[in-house]
Structure 1
Amino acid sequence: MAKVDLNLIVIFDAIMREQSITIAAEQLAMTQPSVSKAVSRMRYAWRDPLFLKQGRGITPTPYAKKLWQEIADPLRQINSSISPPKFAPMTSSTQLRVALTDGISGLFWPKLRAIIEQRAHAIDLYAVPFQGNGELLLLNAEVDLVLDYFPTKHRHITVKHLYDNHFTCVMHPSHPLAEQDLSLGEFCHADHLLVSLSGDPSGAVDKCLMERGKQRRVAMTVNSFSSAIDLLQESNLICVMPFTVASKAIRKGQLVHKAVPISVPSPTISVAWHTRNQPSLALKWLINEIEQLVIHDSEIFTAPLLQVSPSTGSNLGNLCEINEQTPI
């Protein structure tokens, strides 16, 4: 066969499997005359009758049987290659790398692990440190997903909003300021803990205060939110942090939170992935599970917006700019 019409191969395979031209036509969504015409072309091209009448059915010739045996495996391989890939969380072994801060991982990782243990045993999740380098990590294919603040608009990166990260002022329940509304003066004179992934000892709050001729004392910095939660429970420090990160300790009564007496912008937390993944079925599964967690735990992700009492201080306006490396 110098030149082969692949359509004839597909039709031939269907007839051999069904042992019926009529049923093969139905399976291929073709008319019976069209299939019969294709059989005539096969006979001419391959110099063999291929199918002989036997009662109401047909029987393949020895040549047809030999030919089908030779093309069966290649056809299955082709069908497997061009068929939509299948993904089963329980059985599809997949590793996914996600860039995120420890605050976000503490929020999502325990819940995602519970989901994996219940219905996605074959999925492995690897956390990659995030320090405002999400775009570079995605472009270099070092991670599959970024789950954090991601303002970049790159033509090869897709960004999907999850929730707005509202900030609150957190302290130990025994702190002298824990029983009252927090005034601007009290806020400025308190000893502050700053979570700074970059090591910068000033953040967006300091910028807002400086623009109004105010300042606070950053008495200590840490480079992780988990360290901040632990430290706040053992000190008289106060800390401005996302409500989502502090919510577990607040619910347990380990910390209390107060309205921040200045307006701090609420950065958008998103999932972002490179268009090369588009996303894969495994990545699509993970994104969907993350979105469902946000919907299910809406009381955490839609934080109570505590209001500043007019008698305790004035809201200074939403003047701070936050980027992915800005501490609070």
Structure 2
Amino acid sequence: MTINSLDPVDIGALRTLVLVYDLQSFSSAAERLNVNQSTISYTVERLRGAFQDPLFVRQGNGVTATERCAALVLWARETIGQIEGLASPAEFDPAVAKGTITISCNHHERQTLIPQFSARLRSAAPHARLVLLDAAGHGNVHLKQNQCDIVLGPVGIIGENFYRRHILTDHYVCVMDPANALARGRITLSAYCKAEHVFVTHNGEWQPLYIDVLKAKGIVLEPAITLPSHDSLERIIPGSSLIAAIPHHLARAMQGGLHIAPLPFRVPISIDMYWSARTAKSGLHKWARSLLAEVAKESAVAAK
């Protein structure tokens, strides 16, 4: 390989390489970038010549990466992050900062952390924009495909180019109508198991963490109702004998007057913040991450 053969390798080409790798499709990458598929094909052909490798081969309706391509993508992610970090201003002033902060999270974080974060953001950085994505079990995909800057929630994202910061430890509690017989006194494990349960599965993509704890005890619950999100609990539970195990911080944020009771077993929920090398050194995003951590710390103190 000669020096000149690397001329087609620029940051735009590297972004295209990573996107095709993540989506496993030329057409999907073209749609995401709002360009013709021929533009994607042309860029990949230039990279194929530069690295003397096919990079992608057809497989069904999509493409799969070669071993050389997978290694290049790892390098490309880090390189893109480093270049974007160098392009960020050395000094950051939120009052004049412009840009977008995209956060992927679930109903729990949108109800408990985002309202205060949004208010602080708008006050300190009025020219910055906030975009929220519904994680629904796909937060790791949103981050790896550069659809978001931050992922919040009880997820695990592994990789050399991803960073994690623990910001909050929550735990499950039980919510029910105040007239429910279980609202009188402490709930025993036997009474809890006999109750009518509501499960929240985030569109079927997530299993509540307490399920595995119960299975370890040899207990398998059959839900009376399964919901895609927590957002309708306040309208479904009142006037019924239904109960639901949900995060404590979320239960505190509800306005429906539901009774909150401890579960007969304790299951912690680790709320973590993830980001990638792409925004690791960005002034706006570093500031936003610090602000989120500050809001989470204050929320934890208020919940005690």
Output the TM-score relative to the length of structure 2: 0.65
Q: Which residue of 1 aligns with 2:112?
A: 107
Q: Which residue of 1 aligns with 2:273?
A: 271
Over aligned residue pairs, what C-alpha RMSD do you find? 2.5
Bigger drift between 281-290 and 81-90 goes to 81-90
Q: Which residue of 2 aligns with 1:255?
A: 258
Equivalent position to 1:292, from 291, 294, 299: 294
Q: Which residue of 2 aligns with 1:179?
A: 184
Q: Contact conserved, 2:168 with 2:271, CA < 8 A, in 1?
A: yes
Q: Deviations over 1:264-323 (max 9, x none)?
A: 3x1311111001211311111111111111222333455xxxxxxxxxxxxxxxxxxxxx
Counterparts of 2:256 and 2:145 in 1: how far apart (Å)?
43
Residue 138 in structure 1 maps to residue 140 in structure 2: no
Counterparts of 2:281 and 2:270 in 1: how far apart (Å)?
21
Bigger drift between 291-300 and 186-195 goes to 291-300
Q: Which residue of 1 aligns with 2:64?
A: none
Could you tell me how far 1:128 is from its partner in structure 2? 0.9
CA, structure 1 residues 287+230, in 2 after alignment: closer, same or farther (shift >3 Å)?
A: farther
CA, structure 1 residues 173+300, in 2 after alignment: closer, same or farther (shift >3 Å)?
A: farther
Counterparts of 1:231 and 1:292 in 2: how far apart (Å)?
33
Could you tell me how far 1:123 is from its partner in structure 2? 1.6
Where does 1:202-213 land on structure 2 (aligned, <5 Å)? 203-213=208-218
Structure 2: unaligned runs, 5 residues or longer: 1-85
CA, structure 1 residues 87+235, in 2 after alignment: closer, same or farther (shift >3 Å)?
A: farther
Counterparts of 1:129 and 1:82 in 2: how far apart (Å)?
29
CA, structure 1 residues 209+147, in 2 after alignment: closer, same or farther (shift >3 Å)?
A: closer
- Greater length-normalized contact order (CA 8 Å, ≥ 6 residues apart): 2
Identity %: 22
Q: Which residue of 2 aligns with 1:65?
A: none
Q: Contact conserved, 1:229 with 1:246, CA < 8 A, in 2?
A: no
Counterparts of 2:181 and 2:238 in 1: how far apart (Å)?
14
Could you tell me how far 1:82 is from its partner in structure 2? 7.9
Where does 1:91-170 land on structure 2 (aligned, <5 Å)? 91-170=96-175
The AA in structure 1 aligned to 2:189 is L
Q: Secondary structure at the match of 2:146?
A: coil
Where does 1:209-224 land on structure 2 (aligned, <5 Å)? 209-224=214-229
Could you tell me how far 1:203 is from its partner in structure 2? 4.5
Could you tell me how far 1:186 is from its partner in structure 2? 1.0
Equivalent position to 1:193, from 185, 195, 198: 198
Residue 283 in structure 1 maps to residue 280 in structure 2: no
Q: Which residue of 2 aligns with 1:228?
A: 233
Q: Contact conserved, 2:136 with 2:206, CA < 8 A, in 1?
A: no
Counterparts of 1:269 and 1:219 in 2: how far apart (Å)?
28
Counterparts of 1:205 and 1:161 in 2: how far apart (Å)?
20
Q: Secondary structure at the match of 1:297?
A: helix
Counterparts of 2:194 and 2:88 in 1: how far apart (Å)?
65
Q: Which runs of 4+ in 1 moved over 6 A?
A: none
Q: Contact conserved, 2:103 with 2:149, CA < 8 A, in 1?
A: yes
Could you tell me how far 1:181 is from its partner in structure 2? 0.6
Counterparts of 2:206 and 2:159 in 1: how far apart (Å)?
30
Counterparts of 2:229 and 2:88 in 1: how far apart (Å)?
45
Counterparts of 1:217 and 1:129 in 2: how far apart (Å)?
27
Could you tell me how far 1:202 is from its partner in structure 2? 6.5
Q: Which residue of 2 aligns with 1:30?
A: none
Q: Contact conserved, 2:172 with 2:266, CA < 8 A, in 1?
A: no
CA, structure 1 residues 171+299, in 2 after alignment: closer, same or farther (shift >3 Å)?
A: farther
The AA in structure 2 aligned to 1:197 is H
Give the aligned length: 219
CA, structure 1 residues 116+185, in 2 after alignment: closer, same or farther (shift >3 Å)?
A: same
Q: Which residue of 2 aligns with 1:16?
A: none
The AA in structure 2 aligned to 1:227 is S
The AA in structure 1 aligned to 2:223 is V
Structure 1: unaligned runs, 5 residues or longer: 1-80, 303-328
The structure number with the bigger radius of gyration is: 1
Q: Deviations over 1:30-72 (max 9, x none)?
A: xxxxxxxxxxxxxxxxxxxxxxxxxxxxxxxxxxxxxxxxxxx
Q: Secondary structure at the match of 1:165?
A: strand
Residue 90 in structure 1 maps to residue 95 in structure 2: yes
Output the TM-score relative to the length of structure 1: 0.60
Q: Secondary structure at the match of 1:177?
A: helix
CA, structure 1 residues 144+201, in 2 after alignment: closer, same or farther (shift >3 Å)?
A: closer
